[in-house]
Amino acid sequence: MSDTEYTPPRVWVWNKPSGGQFASINRPIAGPTHDKDLPVGSHPLQLYSLATPNGVKVTVMLEELLAAGHDAEYDAWLIKIGDGEQFGSGFVSVNPNSKIPALLDRSGAEPVRVFESGSILLYLAEKFGAFLPKNPAARTQALNWLFWQMGSAPYLGGGFGHFYMYAPVKIEYAIDRFTMEIKRQLDVLDRHLADNEFMAGREYSIADMAIWPWYGVLVAGKIYGDSATFIEADGYTNVLRWQRQVFERPAVKRGRIVNRVFGDENEQLAERHSAADIDAVLAKKPANAG
C-alpha cells in the first residue's frame, strides 16, 4: 500500500514493525528492556554515547575543555544503539529517555546524571566556566542559538536524513517537506554568519559545538549520502566558511572521532579513556571534516 492510500485508524495500535533501518529499536514505550550495568572508568566524568551529531557535540566540548587546560578528563563508553544498549537498566537510570549521549559526573559526593546533549553542554560550560560568554548579551545569544539547534536540528535535520536516506520507501511529500525546512534553517544560519564569525558573535562557544555536528557536517557533504548536492549546500557560503573554521580546531578533530564506529576505519575510536587513545588514531591519518 502506498502512502497516498493510507487512512489512519481512529486509534493507532502498535502491532507491526515500523520498517526501515532502525525498526528493531523503535517502540512507543519507555523503560528498560533488560538488566545491564554501565561500565565505570577511572575519571570523574563518564560519558555513554555514540558519534552521532548529538554525541559529537559532547566529545568536542570535553576535548575543548582539556585543550583549554581544564581538568575535564573523561571516559567515553560506546553505546550501540542499533543493538538496543540504550534500553539497558543502567543506561535508563542515567537517561530515562534512552537516547545518547548521557553523562554521569562522579566528581562530587553524589553522582550527577545529565542527559540531553544541550543540557550536557550547558552543564559542562557552567561547571568549568568555559565556552559560554560572560557578557550577558553574548551569553544570551549563545543560549538562543543552542536552544534553536536543540529545537530544530534533531527533528528537521534528523527528519530530512530519515526520509532522504533511511526510510524503507521514498515518500515525495515527506522528502519535500523536510528539504524545504532544512534549507530554511541553513538560510537562517547563512544570514547570521554573514555578520558574525561564530554563533554568539566573535567568541566560539557551546552554540558552535552544538550546531556544527548537524549543519556544518551537512554542508560539508559528510552525512546522508549525497544530500549536500541534493540541497545545493555549496550555495551557503557563510556556513561553509564557518564549518571549515570550526573544523580546523584541534579539539574538534579529536572529539569527532570518539565513539565513532562507522565511516573511514582510520577515523574510528570506539572508546576513549585517555588522550593517548585519540593520539594513536590521529597518528594514522589526518581526519577529514565529517
Band of residue 1 on the pLDDT scale cut at 50, 70, 90: very low
Q: Is pLDDT at 107 greater than 70 in this prediction?
A: yes
| pLDDT 10s digits, 229-246 | 999 999 999 999 999 999
Please indicate whether residue 144 or residue 21 has the higher confidence score (pLDDT).
144
Section 136-154 average pLDDT? 95
- % of the chain exceeding 70 in pLDDT: 94
CB of 190 within 8 A of CB of 238?
A: yes
Kindly state the cell numbers that stand for 79: 553505546
What does the block give as the cell for 13? 495500535
The residues, any chain, with a CB within 8 Å of residue 194's CB and separated by 6 or more, are 238
Output the pLDDT for position 284. 85
| Sequence-distant (≥ 6) Cβ neighbours of residue 243 within 8 angstroms | 212, 215, 216, 217, 219, 220, 289
Looking at residue 246, its amino acid is V
Query: Is the predicted pLDDT of residue 90 greater than 50, yes or no?
Result: yes
pLDDT mean over 81-100: 97
DSSP alpha helices (H): ranges in 217-265? 217-219, 227-230, 237-247, 250-255
Three-state DSSP at 49 gives strand
| Rounded Cα distance, 193 and 40, in Å | 40
Q: What is the pLDDT of residues 38-85, one digit of tens each?
A: 999 999 999 999 999 999 999 999 999 999 999 999 999 999 999 999
Residue 66 near residue 14, CB atoms below 8 Å: no
Residues 182-209, mean pLDDT to the nearest whole number: 97
Cell numbers representing residue 132 in the block: 559560554
pTM score of the predicted model? 0.94
The residues with which 45 forms a beta bridge, in sequence order, are: 74, 105
Residue-wise pLDDT for 204-226, tens only, equals 999 999 999 999 999 999 999 99
CA distance 182 to 219: 11
- CA-nearest of 234, 270, 203, 198 to 68 is 203
Say if residue 287's pLDDT is above 70.
no
Q: Residue 26's pLDDT is what?
A: 82
Q: Which residue's C-alpha cell is 528537521? A: 156
Cell digits for 126?
557552567
In order, the DSSP letters of 170-214 are --HHHHHHHHHHHHHHHHHHHHHHTS-SBTTBSS--HHHHHHIII
pLDDT at 258 over 80: yes
Indicate if the pLDDT at residue 250 is higher than 90.
yes
C-alpha distance across the termini of the chain, in Å: 37
Q: What does the pLDDT read at residue 2?
A: 52
* 17 pLDDT more than 70: no
Higher pLDDT, 285 or 240: 240
- Segment 192-215 shows an average pLDDT of 97
For the segment 162-189, the average pLDDT, to the nearest whole number, is 95
Sheet holding 112-115, edge to edge: 74-78, 45-49, 102-105, 112-115
To the nearest whole number, what is the mean pLDDT of the chain? 93
For 51, 53, 59, the CA distances from 258, given in Å and listed in that order, are 6, 12, 7
Give the span between the Cα atoms of 145 and 121, in whole angstroms: 13
Alpha carbons within 13 A on the beta-carbon side of 53: 22
pLDDT of residue 154: 84
Instruction: Identify the band that residue 286 occupies on the pLDDT scale cut at 50, 70 and 90.
Output: low
Of 123-127, 165-169, 191-195, least confident by mean pLDDT is: 165-169
